Structure 1
Amino acid sequence: MNKINTPIFKIINPNELYNPRGNGYSHIAVVPPNMRTIHIAGQGGENKNGELSEYFEQQVQQVFYNIQHALASVHAQIVDIAVLRILIVEHDAEKHQALIQIIQDLWKNHAFPACTLIPVPRLALEGMLIEVEATAYTA
């Protein structure tokens, strides 16, 4: 079993399951009791002015920029995220690879969070191509 320890929780990828690291996520996040739980509402690719890029990769980068700012406002960081839920409009292999690359860049030498990717036909705003909800834990 491949266990990667973070400062607060354990990320586990059992040997009996395929290795998900190439896809930028992990199978299991184990969080000890009494940790501070931080729920980040689904973040879209809109900037502070509510503007959306027409390009998927730019929206993905903006989503994680938004998440990092939300985390910083409560004294947390991207590596404190244990779980991601990702919704993508008209999901395809090209979008998937772009997402994986950005996640791998953000989590460089850290364990990837557990993650669920959900293809959807539409999101809340016209032109919104991705939405990401995150759950983080700190001491």
Structure 2
Amino acid sequence: MENNHLEITNPEGIYDPRAHAYSHVATVSAKDILVFVAGQGGSRMDGILSDDFRTQVKIVFENIGIALASKGLNMQHIAKLTTLVVDYDDEKHQILIEESTKIWPDLKFPVNTLIPVGRLALDGMLIEIDATAVNA
């Protein structure tokens, strides 16, 4: 589903960030509605957290998708993400890139701030992502 009210760009003069699964600028027209999704962790309704980082990443994105769908939106409506990762390293970075590229194969990634952290709210939680989406 195309979102004509959200423009994702990477201006000349700043390095191309798409190889790292994010973009530099998201522009939203002022008349649109913003939808904010709280930080989502890597567990489903059963509350069980896998020890596998990739599994948690997939579930985080599923949870964001469910939250957006409740407002009639999908992942292509996301303008901004904030990603918190416990014990961040190159392997986890690569997993984030791979899983993000599955969601945004056109490489129009949302703007994303990635923050390495020592711990999240729950024991075993390896990643948390919040999202801001545009409902036009």
TM-score (structure 2 length as normaliser): 0.96
Partner of 2:101: 104
Partner of 1:66: 63
Partner of 2:47: 50
Aligned letter for 2:82? R
TM-score (structure 1 length as normaliser): 0.94
Deviations 1:42-74 (A, max 9, x none): 000011111110100000000000000010011
Query: Does structure 1 residue 9 correspond to structure 2 residue 6?
Result: yes
Which of 69, 91, 95 aligns to 1:94? It is: 91
Identity of aligned residues (%): 47
**Residues 21 and 107 in structure 2, CA contact (< 8 A), matched pair in contact too:** no
**Residues 79 and 110 in structure 1, CA contact (< 8 A), matched pair in contact too:** no
Number of equivalenced pairs: 135
**Residues 39 and 131 in structure 2, CA contact (< 8 A), matched pair in contact too:** yes
Partner of 2:111: 114
Structure 2: gaps (5+ residues)? none
- Give the CA RMSD over aligned residues: 1.1
C-alpha deviation, 1:109, in angstroms: 2.1
**Residues 6 and 110 in structure 1, CA contact (< 8 A), matched pair in contact too:** no
What is the distance in 2 between the residues matched to 1:34 and 1:82? 15
Partner of 1:41: 38
**Residues 85 and 126 in structure 2, CA contact (< 8 A), matched pair in contact too:** yes
Structure 1 outlier segments of 4+, above 2 Å? none
C-alpha deviation, 1:110, in angstroms: 5.3
What is the distance in 2 between the residues matched to 1:109 and 1:6? 13
Deviations 1:72-125 (A, max 9, x none): 011000000000000000000000000110001111125110000000000000
Query: Does structure 1 residue 124 correspond to structure 2 residue 116?
Result: no
